[in-house]
């Protein structure tokens, strides 16, 4: 894959200078700048995956044997106010509230188990522990009464080699094994979602070191997410658990606005068709609540690398903890003219992610999924050419409004009319819906140009009638502009490029070639140095001169300000002593 020429500029705060820079870059790049998408080899077979899941579930249920009646387990339920909060969650824009986390705090350890005295089955940690000469099994169950689906938060996970952790149900779903310190590698992770109100947990080990392994195995079931009625995916995957809504003439799904359009019924441009295998519906946990948003896989310039870079909105996920809780559901769609939910066995899932970059100024978050993308996934190309000031430019979007199967909408860029002061054009793209619409849960969905390249991601809407998502006259759709933050993500998407001379990217706690000193504070965006914590040293700056004399003659205090570098201009003391 050839690499396009692009211009690099130092970060500029003034909006006018930024706009001029973008216009110069646009001229150098041309309309075909950036890269096109690329498809990963293989194909996901939903029916085969469903058969595999059922087989694993049956195997785990069989391992419970006759002891399943001994399980005490854990049970939680929402109170009236919590139920009302889920039922009354706003659905027109933003991340969509779908569930609440309830604490369990169950510590599971085996260091006090005397294998010789307790061989066989026994109650242990509100579950059942069974030990024989070459194997141990422990299992329990967690029930969230009234939930459409459940997820578990595991912390303090330490599983020695050979110990496997599974979550599963009695209805054919099973996930794992989780091993070591879990999918995030730090002993803290959220499990896959199990549909229905009950999730079972099982630890297995087969080997010769049972005493040693038992003593070293530990985990904590810290929380369970109780997904409520707005978690519509449960009805798609397990319709037998619910009253299934039909495909009405009023709307895509009965819960969608009348203007929302099924992607399978729409005439998608050829350049956008492949993106259907890139856009995901995902759930995550933030502040004790569970939400859903949309996002998509991005390509990079390293041919066939298929690194699972995932673009979404910063107002959905902005912290490492939120990003690590992501469970992304790909290829979630339904045929045209059929039921709103049309179960085909399974949808491919990816669990966990790592935060790379993000900012509220253009409402973007770039993450790297912790597991490979599903076979056959498409990685969308991108263009750093600005479109925010290109009136009438055609845009295309795939998203999951209110957690529905994939929907399609089209917009046209507008450069006049209503705007929101906190969402300046340039950092954001304003457009009018010309086909279809978005709703809560669509946030973070990529917006594509006519070449099928990402030029931004959905923030939400700005207007005077936001309660009506079909009112494109009084409301504008607003996307964070890829062009405005490209310099913050090109180190990942175009790994052959190098940062500008005065950029702190990759130069933590040192001096950039252009003379700027770089703070060593970790921002939590993967690379602890970035342009927005860059401090350019003047002769009398204390940066890099802690407890000594700056080149301009000022003496510098050695006090640590808590900013990573203990010296900053704030503590400069000028004098002869």
Q: What's residue 387's pLDDT?
A: 96
Q: What percent of the chain has pLDDT over 70?
A: 76
Of the candidates 278, 273, 280, 247, the one whose C-alpha atom is nearest the C-alpha of residue 262 is 247
Task: Tell me the per-residue pLDDT of 79-108, one tens digit each, with 9 for 90 and over.
Answer: 999 999 999 988 887 899 999 999 999 999
8 A C-beta contact, residue 399 and residue 409 = yes
Alpha helices in 457-527 (DSSP H): 482-493
From the number of C-beta atoms within 10 Å of its C-beta (0-12, 13-18, 19+), residue 465 rates as middle
Of the candidates 106, 87, 196, the one whose C-alpha atom is nearest the C-alpha of residue 144 is 196
* Separation between Cα atoms, residue 417 and residue 47, nearest integer Å: 49
* Separation between Cα atoms, residue 530 and residue 488, nearest integer Å: 8
b/e sequence 419-443, b meaning 16+ C-beta within 10 Å? beeebbbbbbbbbbbeebbbbbbbb
Bridge partner residues of 203 (DSSP):
138, 165
Q: What's residue 499's pLDDT?
A: 55
Q: What's residue 77's pLDDT?
A: 93
CA dist 358 to 280, 413, 526, Å?
19, 24, 10
Number of H helices, E strands in the chain: 8, 32
Count of Cβ atoms closer than 10 Å to residue 564 Cβ: 18
**pLDDT by residue for the chain (577 residues), tens digit each?**
333 323 333 223 333 333 333 333 333 333 347 999 999 999 999 889 889 999 999 999 999 886 776 677 999 999 999 999 999 988 887 899 999 999 999 999 998 887 655 667 788 889 999 988 789 999 999 999 999 999 999 999 999 999 999 999 988 899 999 999 999 999 999 999 999 999 999 999 999 888 899 999 999 999 999 999 899 888 777 766 665 444 334 467 889 999 999 999 878 899 999 999 999 999 999 999 999 999 999 999 988 889 999 999 999 999 999 999 999 999 999 888 777 876 666 789 999 999 999 999 999 999 999 999 999 999 999 999 999 999 999 999 999 999 999 999 999 999 988 789 889 999 999 999 999 999 999 999 999 999 999 999 999 999 999 899 999 999 999 999 999 999 999 999 998 765 555 555 555 555 555 556 555 543 433 333 444 344 444 555 655 566 666 665 666 565 533 333 334 443 333 332 2
Bridge partner residues of 131 (DSSP):
120, 136
**Token pair listed for 498:** 């190098």
Bridge partner residues of 262 (DSSP):
407
**Token pair listed for 449:** 């140009």
CA atoms within 13 A on the CB side of 321: 9
- Report the predicted TM-score, pTM, of the whole model to 2 decimal places: 0.80
8 A C-beta contact, residue 226 and residue 144 = yes
Of the candidates 248, 263, 255, the one whose C-alpha atom is nearest the C-alpha of residue 436 is 263
Task: Tell me the per-residue pLDDT of 213-272, one tens digit each, with 9 for 90 and over.
Answer: 999 999 999 999 999 989 988 877 776 666 544 433 446 788 999 999 999 987 889 999
DSSP state of 275: G
Of the candidates 520, 553, 559, the one whose C-alpha atom is nearest the C-alpha of residue 538 is 553
8 A C-beta contact, residue 157 and residue 182 = yes
Of the candidates 353, 391, 400, 395, the one whose C-alpha atom is nearest the C-alpha of residue 372 is 353
8 A C-beta contact, residue 248 and residue 168 = no
8 A C-beta contact, residue 194 and residue 60 = no
């Amino acid at each position: 894959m050839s690499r396009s020429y692009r211009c690099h500029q130092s970060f500029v705060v003034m909006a006018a200078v930024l706009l001029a820079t973008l216009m110069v870059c646009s001229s150098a790049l041309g309309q075909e700048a950036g890269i096109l998408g690329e498809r990963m080899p293989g194909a996901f077979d939903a029916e085969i995956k469903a058969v595999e899941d059922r087989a694993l579930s049956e195997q785990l249920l069989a391992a419970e044997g006759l002891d399943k009646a001994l399980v005490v387990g854990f049970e939680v339920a929402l109170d009236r106010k919590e139920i009302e909060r889920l039922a009354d969650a706003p659905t027109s824009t933003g991340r969509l509230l779908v569930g609440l986390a309830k604490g369990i705090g169950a510590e599971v350890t085996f260091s006090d188990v005397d294998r010789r005295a307790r061989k066989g089955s026994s109650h242990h940690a509100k579950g059942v522990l069974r030990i024989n000469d070459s194997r141990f099994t422990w299992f329990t169950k967690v029930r969230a009464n009234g939930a459409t689906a459940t997820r578990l938060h595991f912390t303090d996970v330490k599983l020695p080699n050979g110990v496997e952790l599974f979550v599963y149900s009695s209805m054919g779903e099973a996930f794992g094994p989780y091993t070591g310190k879990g999918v995030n590698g730090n002993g803290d992770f959220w499990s896959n979602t199990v549909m229905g109100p009950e999730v079972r947990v099982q630890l297995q080990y087969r080997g010769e070191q049972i005493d040693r392994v038992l003593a070293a195995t530990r985990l904590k079931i810290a929380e369970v997410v109780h997904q409520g009625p707005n978690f519509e995916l449960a009805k798609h995957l397990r319709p037998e658990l619910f009253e299934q809504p039909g495909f009405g003439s009023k709307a895509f799904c009965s819960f969608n606005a009348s203007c929302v359009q099924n992607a399978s019924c729409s005439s998608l441009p050829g350049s956008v068709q492949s993106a259907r295998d890139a856009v995901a519906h995902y759930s995550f946990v933030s502040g004790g609540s569970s939400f859903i948003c949309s996002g998509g896989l991005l390509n990079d310039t390293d041919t066939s690398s298929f690194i699972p870079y995932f673009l979404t909105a910063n107002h959905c996920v902005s912290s490492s903890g939120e990003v690590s809780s992501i469970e992304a559901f790909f290829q979630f769609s339904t045929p045209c003219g059929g039921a709103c939910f049309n179960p085909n066995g399974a949808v491919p899932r990816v669990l966990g992610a790592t935060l790379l970059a993000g900012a509220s100024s253009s409402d973007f978050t770039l993450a790297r999924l912790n597991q490979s993308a599903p076979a056959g996934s498409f990685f969308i190309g991108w263009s750093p050419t600005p479109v925010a000031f290109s009136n009438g430019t055609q845009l295309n979007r795939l998203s999951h409004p209110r957690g529905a199967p994939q929907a399609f909408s089209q917009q046209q860029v507008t450069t006049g009319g209503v705007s929101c002061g906190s969402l300046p054009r340039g950092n954001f793209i304003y457009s009018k819906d010309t086909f279809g619409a978005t709703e809560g849960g669509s946030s973070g969905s990529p917006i594509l140009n006519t070449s099928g390249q990402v030029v931004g991601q959905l923030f939400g809407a700005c207007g005077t009638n936001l309660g009506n998502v079909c009112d494109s006259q009084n409301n504008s759709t607003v996307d964070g502009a890829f062009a405005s933050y490209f310099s913050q993500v090109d180190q990942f998407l175009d790994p052959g490029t190098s940062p500008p001379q005065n950029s702190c990217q990759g130069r933590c706690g040192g001096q950039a070639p252009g003379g700027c000193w770089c703070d060593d504070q970790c921002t939590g965006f993967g690379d602890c140095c970035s342009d927005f914590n860059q401090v350019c040293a003047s002769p009398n700056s204390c940066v890099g001169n802690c407890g000594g004399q700056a080149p301009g003659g000022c003496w510098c205090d050695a006090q640590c300000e808590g900013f990573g570098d203990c010296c900053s201009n704030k503590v400069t003391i000028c004098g002869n002593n």
